[in-house]
Amino acid sequence: MLAPLKQHLFNVLSEINDVVWCIDATTFELLYTNEACFSLWGYNPSQMMNDQSIFFNSLHPEDIEKWKQGISDAIKLGRSYNEFRIIHKNKTIKYIQGDAIYKTGSGRLPDTITGITTDVTYIHEANKFLSTKNAELEFTLAELNSIKSDNIKVGNLLQSYQKAIDSNIICSITDKRGIITYVNNNFCNISKYSKEELIGKNHRIINSKYHPREYFEEMWQNISDGKMWNGEIKNKAKDGSYYWVDTVIIPLKNNNDNIDGYLSLRIQIDDKKKLEEDREKYLMTIEDMLFMVSHEIRKPISSCQGIIHLLKEGIPTKEGDYFSYISHLLESTTELDVYSRKLNDYLQNNIRR
């Protein structure tokens, strides 16, 4: 009964894209990791467990203390979230997020820290790309200011720049009160509003009410002070659908350095937010599965092990004692069978869905 269940769990974990791992909370010895470790480290599970130095040597030198603090928090608080860098076998740097859960051992089982680790390198690469584009935008605006006395050059540059924005970016311009004076076609396409419906309104027309009031108050404080603001916003389209955008808002100043309005540039990031949402649901599923294994299944297993130990030692002296132990053993195995079926149903409905 135990062997098939154990193999079933291992088969499921081997199919998961994120790295699932378990270490001894005292010695930090790696007790288990699934096949996904190969994509993150470049080593398979047997290599990782046979050479315990692989993981520690892969930690980025600047993030070793951060990793230690995450483990310490897991032991003290029962759970911790952490993000740090590792160095892949091929020498590339990977950014990973870890969710670690501390469990106290029982009997011959040691205290352990079990967790799930996700590769978030793509998020950092996306942020780096956005930072580069923001820097290019600031440079272009500075260039515009430096040549604005030359109307021909400014006109040509503005036309080229507007074409580039209209083909890739969701753009709008407002006056200093936040009233929309311009939107491009991408803004209309994603919001499902026409230009006539948008111009003369403010951006509350697409407010999804997802963010707290303080979020936008802080945004207005920044841009009113002449600072550029960058953040992620969930909006609501005219048809009731929602969409996420990564937004940059830049104050537009006149020759007297006073703010005349604001330029907003956005890119749609629904795919990124969906991945983040799926990861959170996935972590909750893994946590529920670990709870089920550690609480519901451990009890009958411990009972079986205790009875088997007594029978092995030959402790009972009466024939009736053997029948009593066998009765308890049957009861525990029946209980275990029920829990294993529940776990199998849970895995079918959640992990593989």
Query: Which runs of E-coded beta strand occur in the chain?
Result: 19-24, 30-33, 79-87, 93-103, 112-119, 170-175, 180-183, 229-236, 242-253, 259-268
Same domain, 329 and 212: no
Here the CATH number for the domain that contains residue 234 is 3.30.450.20
* 217 burial type by CB count under 10 A (0-12 exposed, 13-18 middle, 19+ buried): exposed
Establish if 304 belongs to a structural domain. yes
- The structural domain count of the chain equals 3
Same structural domain, 113 and 129: no
Mapped onto helix, strand or coil, the DSSP state of residue 77 is helix
Residue 164 and residue 284 in one domain? no
Residue 54 inside a domain? The answer is yes
Domain C-terminal end among 264, 291, 307: 264
Q: Could you tell me if 6 and 63 lie in one domain?
A: yes
| pLDDT value at residue 235 | 95
Mean pLDDT by 10 residues, the chain (353 residues): 57 74 85 83 87 88 89 86 89 88 76 85 76 69 59 59 70 92 91 94 94 93 92 94 92 88 89 78 69 63 68 59 69 71 66 50
In a domain, 353, yes or no: no
Is the separation of the CB atoms in 93 and 114 below 8 Å? no
Do 80 and 198 reside in the same domain of the chain?
no
Q: Which of 211, 240, 264 marks a domain boundary?
A: 264
Within 13 Å and on the Cβ side, how many CA atoms surround 70? Answer: 22
What is the Cα–Cα distance from 121 to 94, expressed in whole angstroms?
6
Residue the block writes with tokens 């997020």 = 97
- Among residues 87, 119, 151, the one where a domain terminates is 119
Residue 77 lies in a domain: yes
**How many C-beta atoms lie closer than 10 Å to residue 317's C-beta?**
8
Helix, strand, or coil here: 184? coil
What integer pLDDT is reported at residue 146 of this predicted model?
A: 62
CA 129/CA 123 separation, integer angstroms: 10
230 with 334, same domain: the answer is no
**H helices present in 207-318, as ranges:** 213-224, 270-291, 298-313
Residues 134 and 180 in one domain: yes
78: left (phi over 0), alpha (psi -120 to 50) or beta: left
Domain that holds residue 60: 1-119
Helix (H) / strand (E) element for 190: namely helix 185-191
Q: What is the pLDDT of residue 151?
A: 54
d(CA 328, CA 320): 13
